[in-house]
Structure formats: structure tokens, C-alpha cells
Chain A
Amino acid sequence: MSATAATRPAAEHHPTSTSSRGTRVLGTLIAVGIPLLLLFAFALSPEDDSMQDAVRLLYIHVPVAIMAYVGFGLTALASAAYLWKRTRWWDTVAHASAEIGVIFCGLTLVTGSIWGRPTWNTWWEWGDVRLVTTLVLFLVFVGYLAFRRVPSDPEVRARRAAVLGIVGAINIPIVNRSVEWWENSTLHQQSSLTDGNLEDLTLFTWFLGTVVMGAVFLWLLIHRFRLAWLEDEIDRHGLASAIDERRAEARAGVEQAVGGQVQGAVEPRGGTQ
């Protein structure tokens, strides 16, 4: 780094963005990882005996489902940490993670539905316990995000949101274990990872998909966290500025009133002279 660059203020490096060296490195890895994932998913991995090429949809469906779990799980952990530490940092992590979890959970439902049509001959099955519990998980966290938008005292809202975040995440193990607990009420198969019947390239593509989606999740989480922090700063700064302005107006009003009284008290006397 040159001497000029070293002495340059931080704001000049990134005047108007939430990027940093870490996010740029992560972004580069994602830019390389996605084409690689597409190459493995569409060209190098074999088709499945029963699902044929529809299996290629699972290389995105399963990783986004895992990231939805991670997102909501992190929301619950950050919420618990907030209730313990009562710091704005943990509340912001919970908020950012929940929003990204909702995006990934929505994609889980959509890509699962698209995969279900050629595989099960249906877009949606209300009798399938995993589909319904995943939908409930999605709606609970949509509600969580809606709750966070309700105007109220920031600390009260953060505390209540933390409780909701923890309660909502109870559904994660239910979704995950539902195919075993209610095996007669689901079209989903049990875990394919543990039965040892998957080919190496299939397993590797699944693993690669999970790593790439993990990097996407982390990149989004960092940027969303920083955005939430900025929005909070604007709210706090805006509130402080508004209070200062009102105080200044009140002071000016008092001074004007006092000045008017003094002038009024002087003028009649002047008028009698």
C-alpha cells in the first residue's frame, strides 16, 4: 500500500458501500464457485436411475434448504445471545439472519415444488408433513420480519423479536426429523446421505453446492448486517437531530417571546416621553 493510500481516510476507500476486503474475497469465490457448481450439476454428475435428470434440481434444492435451517438457527442463537447480553450487535445479527433465512426457505419451497412435479407428478401435496412444516417455518419467520417493522420502542421490540425468533426455530428439528417421525405421511424419502448408495460425483456435487450456498449465505449475511446497522444509525441520528431541532426551535421561541416582552415593556415608556 502506498503512503498516500495508507494515510487516506477510510471513507475515501469505500465512500458509499458496505463492502470490505473480506466480502470481496468471498464474492470472488462465489463468482468462481457458481459456474463450477453448474458444470458439475449439469455436465459431470450422472443422472439418477429413478429420477433421471430431475436429480440435478436437488443440487440447488438441498443446499438452499440447509442454508434456511442455518439462517433460522442463527436467528435463534443470536436472539438468545441478545436476551443474555442485551447488545444491539446480537439483535442486528438475528434480524439479518432471519431475512436471509426467509429468502432461502422460500427458494426451498419453490425449487422443491419444481422438483416434485416431474418426480411425484404434483406441485404440492398438503398431506406431506415435511412440505407443510416447511411452509409453517417460512410463514413464522415472515411474521417475525413483519413484527420487526412495527413501530415501537427499539428495546421492547428487540426483546419480543428475540423471544419470537427462539420459539420459531423450535420448528427446525420438527421439519428435519418429520420424514422419520411421520414416515407414512410424507412423499419425501429419508436421508440419502447415510444409506451409502450415492455415487461419488453425486455426493461431491451436493457437497460443492452446500459450500457455494454457504458462501452466498455468509456474503449476504455480512452485507445485510451492515445495512441493518446503517439503517439503525440513520434512525438514531435522525431522532437525535429531530430532538435538537425541536429544542433549537423552542429556545428561539422563548427568546423571541422574552424579546417581545422586553420591547413591549420599553416601548410604552418611550411613548409617554
Chain B
Amino acid sequence: MSHLGYLLAGWSIGLGTLALYGWSVLRRARNAARQVPPGRRRWMTADD
């Protein structure tokens, strides 16, 4: 396969950045959720 180094760099930077950002959002959300009472979490419903 030609240009393998470029392919690996492009895909790993692309998917890696998205994964890292997603993980960072989840981590910050866990920390923030601990400080807010369940009733004030906007998205929560009675059965979820």
C-alpha cells in the first residue's frame, strides 16, 4: 500500500483526537454531575 505513513498518521490523528475529546467531555461531565442535584439535570426523565 502506497503512502502508508500518511494514511496511518491521518487516520490515527483523526480518530485519536475525537476519542480524546470525547473522553475529556465525559470526565468533565462526571465531575460536574456530582455537584448538581439529580432534579436539576435537564435531560433526566423518570424512567432513565
Contacts and interface: CB of A to CB of B under 8 A. Distances in A.
Interface of A: 1, 6, 9-11, 13-21, 34, 38, 41-42, 47, 52-54, 56-57, 60-61, 64, 103, 106-107, 110-111, 114-115, 117-118, 216, 219-220, 223-224, 226-227, 229-231, 233-234, 237
Interface bracket on B: 35 or more
Nearest to B41: A230
A16 B17 contact: no
Contacts of B35: 230, 234, 237
Given A53-B2, A107-B17, A231-B32, A224 B9 contact: no
B38 A10 contact: yes
A56 B33 CA distance: 40
A107 B25 contact: no
Interface string B1-44: 11110110111011101100110011011101111101011111
A16 B33 contact: yes
Interface majority SS (helix, strand, loop, mixed), chain B: helix
A9 B30 CA distance: 18
A219 B18 CA distance: 11
Contact of A6 (B43, B44, B47): B47
B37 to A, nearest CB: 8
A229 B29 CA distance: 10
Given A17-B29, A20-B43, A230-B29, A54 B2 contact: yes
A40 B44 CA distance: 38
B22 to A, nearest CB: 6
Contacts of B11: 38, 41, 57, 60
17 contacts: A10-B45, A16-B30, A16-B34, A18-B43, A19-B26, A20-B44, A21-B48, A47-B2, A53-B1, A54-B3, A110-B14, A216-B22, A220-B21, A223-B25, A223-B26, A226-B41, A234-B32
